[in-house]
Amino acid sequence: MIGFSRKTKVTTGASLPVIVGIVVACVFLVVGSVRSDIFAQQTVAGLSQGAIYASLALALVLIYRATEVINFAQGEMAMATTFIAYQFTLWHITFWLAFFLTLVVAFVFGAVVYAVLIRPVQHRSVIALVIITVGLFILIDGLVTWKWGADLKFMQAPFGNHVYRGGGVAFSRQDIGVLAVSILSVILLWVLFQFTKLGLAMRAAALRPAAAALVGVRVDVMLAIGWGLAAVLGAVAGIMTEASQFLQPTMMQPILLYAFAAAVLGGLESPAGAVVGGLAIGVFLNLTGQYVGFATSEVRLPIAFAVLLVVLLFKPTGLFGRKQVRRV
C-alpha cells in the first residue's frame, strides 16, 4: 500500500440543490411564522409530531442499514413498549422513572427479536424477511390486545396541558416537551454512534461485516445492539405519541406510515435524512391541513402515501441518499 492513499471525504450525501432547498424551506417557515400566528402554531405542532415520525423513521433506518431489513413491526414494537410503560405507571411508578425503565425493557426486547427471529432468516430473500416482520406485527398486536384489551387507555400526561403564550401565539407545553425529548434522544444516539468506540464498532459491523469481524468486532452482538437501540427509539416515539393522544393497540399504525414516508424522503440509508424527513413530513401535513381545503384529516395518510410515491418515482435515493450502482 506504499505510495497509495485514498482520500475519503465525509459528507451527509446531500447535494447542493437539496441543501439550498432545505434552507429555503426553513426561511419560508420562519418568515411565515413571524407573519402569521396560526402559521407559527401549526409549524410548532408539526415539528412536534414530526419529531415522533423522525424517531420512528430513524429506528427503521438504523435497522435497514445494519441488517437490510425493513421492520414492518417497528410501530407495533413501539406500541407494545408504550403499554409496558403504562403497566409501570399502573404500579404507581412515576412517569419519568417508568419512561427510563421502559427504555431498558425496549432495548432487551429489540435485541431478543433480532437474535431469535431475524438472525436465522437474515440471509434469505427480501420476501421472507418482510413476511417475518409482518408475522411479528400480528403477533405483537395479538399479545397486547390479549393482555390489555383493545379499548382506550389513559396515562398521566408527562408535560401537563400548560400553554405558553407569546404575543398572539400559543404553544402547548406538551408539543415543546415531545419535540425536546425526541430530538434529545436522536442527538444522544448520534453521539453514541459518532464518538464512542461501541458506536464505531457498530458502524463497522453494519457497513463491512466481514472486515469488522476480522478486526475482532463481534458482528452479531453489534447488530443485536443496533436492533435494541432502534427499539429504544421506537419506545420514545411510542411514549411521546401517547402523550398527545390515547393509548390503544392501533395507535402506531398511521405513524408507521408517516415514518416510512419520512425514511424514504430522507433516503432509506441516511440517519440525518430520516430526521429531516420526519420533521418535514410533520410540518408539511400540518400546514396543508391548515391551508388546503381538500386536505382534511381523513386524507393525511393518503397524502403521506403520495409523498412516498413521488419520492420513489422521481428521486428514489431521497434527499440524502447516495446513488447505488448495480452490476448486472
Partner 1 sequence: MKTRLVIIGVVAAIIAVLGATMTDYHDGLGARVGIYFVAILGLNILIGYTGQISIGHGAFMAIGGYTTAIMSYYHHTNLIATLPLAFLTAFVCGVLVGIPALRFHGVYLALATFAFAVSVPQLPLKWSKWTGGSNGLRTHTTPSNTWLYGVSWSCAAILFVVAWALLRGRTGRAFRSIRDSEIAAASSGVSLPIYKTLAFGVSAAFAGVAGSLLVLVTNGFAQPNEFGVILSLQILIGAAVAGLGSLWGTLVGALFVGLLPELSSSAPLIGSSHGQDVVFGLIVVLVMILLPNGFAGLLRTIDSRVNSAIKSDTTTS
28, 124, 152, 291: residue in contact with partner 1 (rule CB under 8 A) = 124
Is residue 296 a contact residue for partner 1 (CB under 8 A)?
Answer: yes
CB 231 within 8 Å of CB 77:
yes
Q: How far is the CB of 69 from partner 1 (least distance, A)?
A: 8
32, 208, 290, 305: residue in contact with partner 1 (rule CB under 8 A) = 305
Q: Which ranges of the chain would DSSP assign to H, the alpha helix? A: 16-35, 37-67, 74-90, 95-113, 126-148, 173-195, 197-207, 209-214, 219-244, 252-266, 271-291, 300-314
254, 290, 315, 322: residue in contact with partner 1 (rule CB under 8 A) = 254
Cell of residue 209, nine digits: 461485516
Is residue 325 a contact residue for partner 1 (CB under 8 A)?
Answer: no
Closest CA to 276 of 311, 245, 306, 242: 311
The stretch near partner 1 (CB under 8 A) out of 31-39, 168-176, 256-264, 270-278 is: 256-264
Hey, which residues between 52 and 81 contact partner 1 (CB under 8 A)?
64, 68, 70, 72
18, 62, 63, 132: residue in contact with partner 1 (rule CB under 8 A) = 132
Is residue 111 a contact residue for partner 1 (CB under 8 A)?
Answer: no
Is residue 114 a contact residue for partner 1 (CB under 8 A)?
Answer: no
Hey, which residues between 184 and 243 contact partner 1 (CB under 8 A)?
none
SS3 164: strand
Measured in degrees and rounded to the nearest 5, phi and psi for residue 169 equal -100, 135
Cell of residue 316, nine digits: 428514489
The stretch near partner 1 (CB under 8 A) out of 4-12, 158-166, 170-178, 304-312 is: 304-312
The stretch near partner 1 (CB under 8 A) out of 32-40, 144-152, 164-172, 197-205 is: 144-152
Whole-angstrom Cα distance, residue 114 to residue 205? 15
Query: Residue 60: CB partners within 8 Å, gap ≥ 6?
Result: 70, 71, 74, 230, 259, 260, 263, 274
Residue 34 CB neighbour total at 10 angstroms? 10
Residue 35 or 123: the one with the smaller Cβ distance to partner 1 is: 123
Residue whose grid cell is 442527538: 187
Q: Would you tell me which residues interact with partner 1 (CB under 8 A)?
A: 64, 68, 70, 72, 117, 120-121, 124, 126-128, 130-132, 134-143, 145-146, 149-150, 253-254, 257, 260-261, 264, 268, 296, 298-299, 301-302, 304-305, 308-309, 312-313, 316, 328
